Amino acid sequence: MKFLKHPQDKVIIKPYDPNWKKEYQQEKDLLESLFQGLPIFFHHIGSTSIPGCDAKPIIDILGVTANILEIDPFNQACENKGFQPLGEWGMKQRRFFTKRGPVSVNLHIFEDSDPEVARHLRFRDYLINHPEKKEEYVALKKKRALENDTDVFYYVLGKEG
């Protein structure tokens, strides 16, 4: 996986915030209105979706659709609401959008047949159902952030290995 650094990202791990669930719901509602008429389903993924998990305070949202090419005509509407369209952004067949502000969001959209969909959902569900593994994961994230808080690429790859 090629990971490109977003210029506004710095690796800062914060204690779990129950407001992340509310922020996700607000962003999901906004996205559903932006993509109105397109069959797309949204899921809260990443560390902010895992109760009790410390995380970078960026809400990760997974969008799942039948045809990824149907996303592109919505780029301007997304941009008008603060979501910067970044195309594939290092992952083939993904559409990636970022939003930075009081609520920061990474939106990853894949076709329903893409294995990344199941991978993201399995990872989230595994950590929710295995608290001891969640704690190991949090420790690893904190370690990587302390080692280098300005290199998101280093942080992301270190969490996976």
Give the tokens for residue 42.
């949204």
pLDDT in tens, 30-73: 999 999 999 999 999 999 999 999 999 999 999 999 999 999 99
Q: Which residues of 18-45 are buried (b: 16+ CB within 10 A; e: fewer)?
A: eebeebbeebbebbeebbeeeebebbbb
pLDDT in tens, 125-154: 999 999 999 999 999 988 888 887 676 665
Higher pLDDT, 29 or 142: 29
pLDDT of residue 68: 97
